[in-house]
Amino acid sequence: MGLDMYLYARKYVSGVDYSRENEQVVRTPVPAFTEIIGAVGLGLEEVCQDFPSVELHAKVGYWRKANQIHKWFVDNVQEGVDDCGKYFFEREKLVELLTLCQQISVDKSLAGDLLPSESGFFFGSTEYDEWYYEQIDDTIAILERILNNPKFETSGLHGWDFYYQSSW
């Protein structure tokens, strides 16, 4: 048992594009939608035909007992509520967290002020030790991988949304 933390990216994919031709609505199938449902073993006849769509959820980050990172998400994304729920947040929050981690990586004396550790049941150590700084480095690697990927640059209907969830 322990604190497990997940970062998810979610993308909505519509099954059809809608356009107008001669006063009529034209529905054009979206090839990506057909490919996705085929990849999971479904056919077009097995999905809703009125407004077909899928949502892709990909785990793009994982931490274990990184209580300082969890505390940051609780304080900055979950409005102080620590309930293991799944919380949506904007991409800009990843930039904020990355900036804090990079500052700590350069000057370890900032750790307690910028990303303080948090005690909790099975949350791991609250010491500012090698394990703490390794988690900071891991977080930098996770966030740089996401933020440097042009596929994650947009959000909303045609882009990726981000969610954080914890479990203990």
Query: pLDDT for 41-80, tens place per residue?
Result: 999 899 998 889 999 999 999 999 999 999 999 999 999 9
Q: Can you give the pLDDT at residue 121?
A: 81
Q: Can you give the pLDDT at residue 122?
A: 87
pLDDT tens track for 153-167: 877 667 899 999 999
- SS3 track for the chain: CCCEEEEEEEEEEECEEEEEECCEEEEEECHHHHHHHHHCCCCHHHCCCCCCEEEEEEEEEEEECCHHHHHHHHHHCCCCCCCCCEEEECHHHHHHHHHHHHHHHHCHHHHHHHCCCCCCCCCCCCCCCHHHHHHHHHHHHHHHHHHCCHHHCCCCCCCEEEEEEEEC
Q: Can you give the pLDDT at residue 157?
A: 64
pLDDT tens track for 8-45: 999 999 999 989 999 898 989 899 999 999 999 999 89
CA nearest 112: which of 137, 98, 92, 129?
129
Q: Exposed, middle or buried, 114 (CB in 10 Å: 0-12/13-18/19+)?
A: middle
